[in-house]
Amino acid sequence: MTLDQTAAPGALGALLPEALRAQFPYLDQELHGRPLAYLDSGATAQRPLAVLDAERDYLEHHNAAVHRGASTLVGDATSLFEDARATVARFVGAEDREIVWAENATDAINIVALGMADASAGLGGGEAKPFVLGAGDEIVVTEAEHHANLIPWQRLAARTGATLRWIPVDDDGTWSADAAASVIGPRTKVVAFAHVSNVTGFLAPVEDVVELAHAHGALVVLDACQSVPHRPVDFGALGVDFAAFSGHKMLGPNGIGVLYGREHLLDALPPARTGGSTITVVTMESAEFLPSPHRFEAGTQPVSQAVGLAAAIRFLDGIGMDRVHAHETALAELLVDEVARVPGIRLVGSGPGVERAALASVDVPGVHAHDVGQYLDSQGIAVRVGHHCAQPLHRRLGLRATTRASAYVYTTEDEVRRFATALGEVRAFFGADGAAAATAAVRATGGRA
C-alpha cells in the first residue's frame, strides 16, 4: 500500500477515508446500527488486505516445514520465513540474527527472564555469566508497567534471591529520568520498562535510562509494544540490550511476537524453550545449542504469521513511519483536547500540551468503566475497559479501572470527536447515582446483559 507521496507529512487525515480505510475490511461495518469507530488499536490492530492476502497466499501456495528437509518446497518456505526476519530487522534497526520469533511480546520478555533464571541456576556455562543474579542484586521496573513486563521479573527475583525495585510514578501516572536515577544504582542488574505506557501514553526517556543503566553495568529490556507500530524506532540507536513487540498490535497476525537482542547477548543467553531446531549436538546426557536466533526457536515455527507480519511492515513502510507518527501526534492532541473539554471526566496521564501517544484512559466518577464502555458500544464506539493489565498503576492512582480509547493510522478525527461527544453523555445517561449503572447499561445495549 503506497499512499500519494505528494501529500505533506501529517496530511494522512485527508487521505484516510478512500486511500487507506478501504484497505481494512473490518472497519466497513456497523455496530448497533451506527458506523463502527474502532478505538481499541492499543489492544489489537485491524489488518489490511495486504496482510490478509499475504498470509492466505503463503498457506495456499508455499506452506512447508521450514529448515527441515531439502525439497524445493521447503526451500521456498524457508526463504519466505527468513526474508520476513530480515524485513523486521530492517524496520527496527537490527541485524537479522538479532531478531527472534516469539508467540507475542509477553513470550519474548519471558524468554529473557527465564533465560536469566537458567543462567542463575548454573546453565549456559561461563558465557552466561552476565545474566547471573543472586542475593544483593536488583531488578528495576517502573510502577507503570504492563503485567507482561512486571510478573516475569517478579518471578526472576523470587527464583534468584534478587530484589525487585521500581521507579515510582507521580500523580499523573508518569515518571522521569530523575526518578529513575533515584532507584538505579550499583546493585542494579536489569532495568525493564515500557517505551510507551499503554495507560497514560507517556513516552519514556529511553536514552537517559539506557545511559544510567549501562553506567552501572545493567542490562536494559524495553517493552516496545506501543512504540514500534506507531513511530520510527531504531533499537540499535536507542542502545537497549533487549526489546519486545507484538505483530497483532501493528496490523499483523496474532501468534507472532519479536524479541530483539544484541547478537552477543543472545548467543550467550540460555534458551528458555528447548527441542527440535535449536541444537547442534544431542547425546543422552546433554545438548549443545545453535547461535541466535535459532537457539530460541524450538519446535514448529509460526511461518504464515511471520510472513503476515512482514506484509504489515511493508504496508507501514509504504505509508512511511514518519507520516504515521505525524498523523497520530495530531490525533493525540485532538484526543486530549476533546476529552479535557468534557466536564466531570478525569483524564489519566498528562494533560493538553504534553506529548503522548495517541491513546487516552479516562475515569468517569460515579460510573464504572465497564458501564462507560457499554454505553460507548451502544453508540458504535469500540474501546477498552478495565485495568489494561496494569493494576499497580491504577492502584497508585486510586482507580480500579479506566476506559481507554486508542488510535492508529486508520483512525479519523471524526471518530475521536464521536468518542468525546459520547463520553460527555455518559454521566447524564447514568445519572449521579452509580447504583443505577447496571440497569442503565442493559438499556443502552438493547437488553443484552
Catalytic residues: 389
Query: 309 near 388, Cβ under 8 Å?
Result: no
C-alpha cell at 329: 501526534
3-state DSSP assignment of residue 334: helix
Query: 149 near 104, Cβ under 8 Å?
Result: no
Task: Measure the CA–CA gap between 263 and 242, rounded to whole angstroms.
Answer: 10
Query: 365 near 391, Cβ under 8 Å?
Result: no
Residue from 361, 441, 445 nearest 39 by CA? 361
CA 130 from centre of chain: 27
Query: Whats the size of the chain, residue-wise?
Result: 449
Hey, which residues does 347 pair with through a beta bridge? 362
What is the C-alpha R_g of the chain?
A: 23
Please, how many CA atoms are within 13 Å of residue 419, restricted to the half-sphere of its CB? 35
C-alpha cell at 96: 537479522
Buried-exposed string 233-248: b where 16+ CB fall within 10 A, e elsewhere = bebeebbbbbbbbbbb
Task: Measure the CA–CA gap between 275 and 290, rounded to whole angstroms.
Answer: 11
Query: 298 near 282, Cβ under 8 Å?
Result: no
